[in-house]
Amino acid sequence: MSKQRFERRPLISASYHELKEHKNNRRIWIEGETLNDVSFPVDTLFRVECDIDNMRVILRAVPSTPENIALHKRRQLNKVSGRKMTGWIKPIIDVCNANITEVFKDAYGEQGRFAAYAYDGVIVFTTHPDDAKRIEREVSLVRNVANGTITEGSAFTGIGISTNSTHDGYQKAGLKPKLKWAVELEGRYLDAAKKNSPEVFSGARMFTGYVEEVEKDLIEPVNSFSFSMSCTDHSNVGKAKKGLSDAEEGETATQIFGVMGLIYAANPAILISENVPSAKNSFTYKVLRKELERIGYNVYDLFLGQEHSGSLDRRERYWFIAVSKGLNIDPQMLVPRTRDLVYKNVGEILDKNTNAEWFPLTKFETRQAKNIAEGRNFKINLVDENTTVVGTIPRNYTKHQVSNPHLTDHNGNYRLFSKEEHAALKLVPPRLVGHMSATVAHEGLGQGIAYTHGVECAFNVGTAVIAATQPQSQLRLAS
């Protein structure tokens, strides 16, 4: 049904209400001047039609003929009641019975609501648009999971590390994932992602641009959406370099509007996202969480580090998983497990046949002395074959910044990790850094994730959803 017109009548007003309960039945109501505007003044007789299949209740005003008055006395028609106000009588409609309960039983929950669309002589009550979207995404996920599948969307895709990890996590949980679309600002990153993992990106719609500018009518609904908003303005180092007092002063502050636009359009039942730990308490993420809770998600926070990834890279991240609340998953199933290091030390991931260039440490030593003299705590960061904890390598690694991890030969020289070694530090499959230069690969890896974090999050939520949906199909699957 078009919200703008009903039976060729123009919409006069729309209102949104909490769905109340009275004597174990659901109660719908509307009151005030709106009823006068749509020909439902006090004492107007009206007929109640319950359209259970389309989850709506239709009220039709009828003339006060003797026949209709008799029907009202037999309780086959209803009448608009009134409440005396200052200088006027407020019209009130209040309907409560078993049929109303049947119509709204899917929408009724912790925050069950309904919408009322008023036309001249007709008022249509139906599921609140937010609850309708919630039911729609839950039904879609339940159906797909029952068939062993799940559809995905991705934003801030980069070179495809997080997208691949989520894909692998769902496969590990026993689901067959299908990527429907991906958004990334850098076309060269998307090219690399498609070249290196065609089995993931084949057939997916690609968007190259800011998330804010993607036309949301081009976004296909999906079951799961993974995204990682820019972390630079949220990190302490990034804020210091840019002179920001908070992340929202940075140029990436508007990303939240693009992200929410994608969520509204794609209506996923599952959201997976990560950022630097300090992002959790930012205004951006507080607003994001509140809006997700408002439209019907439960949001769960996770802080994952080296003990959860098993990687030599100590990258720590704030992850959140949001799940449509009607699915009633067990939050304990999202708790990540700890794991041992996959590689015992840096020596196990080094390319013994590399022809990587070595550089003298003199430039770093000069720079370090200058930093100390100026009160900056950026010091030389050298690692060797025996190192078991490596500081996170950033996106601009090839700029040879003094505080980034560098390999030492213990003879006054250092070198950069190769792109393959960098991938191994984060347990990223080496195939994902093919078809690109070392500079681009380090950029993608530096702003990427510890791979097993993404796998574990998708595996856990996939397993939780399967457990919550397969034993029960209480969701009334719309035909």
Dump pLDDT digits (tens) for 306-337.
Answer: 999 999 999 999 999 999 999 999 999 999 99
Answer positive or negative: Cα dihedral of 161, 162, 166, 169. Answer: positive
pLDDT at 475 over 70: no
Q: What is the DSSP string of 366-386?
A: HHHHHHHHTT-----EEE-TT
Angle at 227 between CA 212 and CA 453, to 5 degrees: 165
pLDDT at 205 (0 to 100): 98
Give the pLDDT confidence score for residue 471 in this predicted structure: 59
CATH of 134-340+446-469, one of 1.25.40.80, 3.30.497.10, 3.40.50.150, 3.90.1150.10: 3.40.50.150
pLDDT at site 476:
39
Q: In terms of C-beta density within 10 A (0-12 exposed, 13-18 middle, 19 or more buried), how is residue 382 classed?
A: middle
Q: Which amino acid is at 474?
A: Q
**What is the tally of helices (H) and strands (E) in the chain?**
15, 23
For the chain, what is the mean pLDDT? Answer: 91
Q: Where residue 364 falls among pLDDT bands split at 50, 70, 90? A: very high
pLDDT at 240 over 70: no
Q: What percentage of the chain reaches a pLDDT higher than 70? A: 92
How high is the pLDDT of residue 477? 39
Question: Which residues are bridge partners to 301 per DSSP?
Answer: 320
Answer whether 77's CB lies under 8 Å from 62's CB: yes
pLDDT recorded at residue 426: 97
Q: What does residue 9 show for φ and ψ, rounded to 5 degrees?
A: -100, 135
| Separation of alpha carbons 116 and 379, rounded Å | 64
pLDDT band per the 50, 70, 90 thresholds, residue 248 = low
Q: How many other CB atoms sit within 10 Å of the CB of residue 326?
A: 24
Q: Phi and psi dihedrals of 438, rounded to 5? A: -60, -40
Torsion of CA 411, 391, 395, 431, to 10 degrees: 90
pLDDT bucket at 107, cuts 50 / 70 / 90: very low
The reported pLDDT for the residue numbered 223 is 98
296/326 Cα distance (integer angstroms): 8
DSSP 3-state assignment of 262? Answer: helix
CB-based contact 124:60 (threshold 8 Å): no
Confidence at residue 478, expressed as pLDDT on a 0 to 100 scale: 38
Q: Domain boundaries in the chain? A: 5-127, 134-340+446-469, 346-440
Q: How confident is the model at residue 230 (pLDDT cuts 50, 70, 90)?
A: confident
Of 94-108, 113-127, 176-190, 385-399, the poorest mean pLDDT is in: 94-108
pLDDT at residue number 142 = 95
pLDDT score recorded for residue 310: 96
pLDDT of amino acid 192: 96
pLDDT value of residue 47? 97
Q: What is the pLDDT of residue 474?
A: 44
Lowest mean pLDDT among 2-6, 28-32, 129-133, 437-441: 2-6
% helix / strand / coil in the chain, to the nearest 5? 35, 25, 40
Averaged pLDDT for residues 418-444: 97
pLDDT at 452: 97
Whether residue 238 has pLDDT greater than 90? no
Say if CB 40 and CB 93 are below 8 A apart.
yes
How sure is the predictor about 237, in pLDDT bands with cuts at 50, 70 and 90? low
Q: In this structure, which CATH number among 3.40.50.150, 3.90.120.10, 3.30.70.2860, 3.30.160.110 belongs to the domain 346-440?
A: 3.90.120.10
Paired strand residues for 17: 114
- The residue whose two tokens read 């990890």 is 165
Residue 20 structure tokens: 């109340």
Q: Return the pLDDT at 247.
A: 57
pLDDT score, position 108: 43
Out of 177-181, 351-355, 446-450, which region has the weakest mean confidence (pLDDT)? 351-355
Q: Please tell me the predicted confidence (pLDDT) of residue 377.
A: 79
* pLDDT level of residue 357 (50, 70, 90 thresholds): very high
Predicted confidence at residue 376, as pLDDT, reads 80
**pLDDT surpassing 90 at residue 32:** yes
